[in-house]
Structure 1
Amino acid sequence: MSLHFIESLQNTLQQSIDLLEELPENVYRDSSVGPYYSSIGKHMRHIIDFYQSIFNGLNNYMIDLTDRKREEVLELSPLIAKNKILMIINELNDYKHYDLSEKYELIDDFGLGKQTIPTNLYSVFSQANSHSIHHYAIIAQLLDFQGVKIENTYFGYNPSTPVVVENNKLSR
């Protein structure tokens, strides 16, 4: 079960690679869209931070999602972000035959300060995948506001979104 699960995570992250390969650097860095004035680069950096927090905690079974590097260079360079995402995709290969139900502790701030909860890697990686798709939706909106069309017309949609499900049925 781990193999298919991990390949699904890698498939989601591959969407980032595909986007970064077709996106001009000025679009990647553009933070002119209100009301939050965030850039695609900041969202990509955030996705990378999330995965790096997971990997950083694996050796001690303590994953701290509040302990993030926030490397600004990832926000500015689509090439550096692409290389980091490729590293994440590659690192996920190590977990294709791993017992993802193994117990871990997850540290996060749920709004009232840091808390520690019991979890497993299925749950944490599932959260990372959903989190990535959520940020893809924001990125898709930023692209739309900037008038940028991309090749993947389903970028930012969860695979279970009815229009995506229906269209995938038709394309088979």
Structure 2
Amino acid sequence: MQLYSAIRTSFQQLNEVIDHLTVEQYQTPSENLSGSSVGQHTRHIIELFQCLLAGYANGTVCYDDRKRDVRIETDPLFAKQLLADIASSIEHENIELQLAGVYDETSTEKLHLTTNYNRELLYNLEHTVHHMALIRVGLKELKTEPVGEHFGIASSTIRHREQCAQ
């Protein structure tokens, strides 16, 4: 399924960026990213996928329940292992799920919506690309090696640019 392939491609691109960073660069807060680091954005990507996979097992996905594991944002090798674990465990039957969360900071009431596994996979893919785009901005501040030309760019944008170039 192209969704699985697209997720794995995004993870591969993210892994390539992580490979070119020192541990210090991975952990360095970026002024351009309101003080967050490449590691923190990577953790956020990973933990949303972890919430989805846990929710698949119990029928309810709650992204509010992510662990915020500091090790993911400080240990790039650990983050890469988790990305590999997720990439190898995303292929599941599309089932109906409940999405639960508190989406208004002034409320404590949990909202419950019906969704499905593929829809949430797609959300996570789009969320990943969004955070990769933010990482791309942060990398400019770190003055690292250039990233791939498609890193952090939506596939529809890539296709559009290619059509315009013809």
2:98 aligned with 1:105, yes or no?
A: yes
2:159 aligned with 1:165, yes or no?
A: yes
Per-residue CA deviation, residues 15-61 of structure 1 (Å, 9 max, x unaligned), is: 21121122222211110425610000000000011000011111221
Count how many residue pairs are aligned between Structure 1 and Structure 2: 163
* Equivalent AA in structure 1 for residue 159 of structure 2: V
Alpha-carbon deviation of 1:148? Answer: 1.9
Aligned to 2:122: 126
**Contact 1:140/1:155 (<8 A) preserved:** yes
Aligned to 1:4: 2
Tell me the secondary structure at the aligned position of residue 91 of structure 1: coil
**Contact 2:32/2:141 (<8 A) preserved:** no
Alpha-carbon deviation of 1:4? Answer: 2.3
- The TM-score, its normalising length taken from structure 2, stands at 0.88
Moved over 3 A (4+): 166-171
Give distance in 1, aligned partners of 2:71 and 2:117. 28
Overall identity of the aligned pairs, in %? 25
Tell me the secondary structure at the aligned position of residue 58 of structure 1: helix
**Contact 1:133/1:158 (<8 A) preserved:** yes
Give distance in 2, aligned partners of 1:126 and 1:71. 23
Give distance in 2, aligned partners of 1:35 and 1:7. 29
- The TM-score, its normalising length taken from structure 1, stands at 0.86
**Contact 2:33/2:134 (<8 A) preserved:** no
2:149 aligned to 143, 146, 153, which one?
Answer: 153
**Contact 2:32/2:137 (<8 A) preserved:** no
- Structure 1: stretches of 5+ with no match in the other structure: none
Aligned to 1:140: 136
Alpha-carbon deviation of 1:170? Answer: 9.2
Per-residue CA deviation, residues 84-107 of structure 1 (Å, 9 max, x unaligned), is: 100000112x32xx2x1x211011
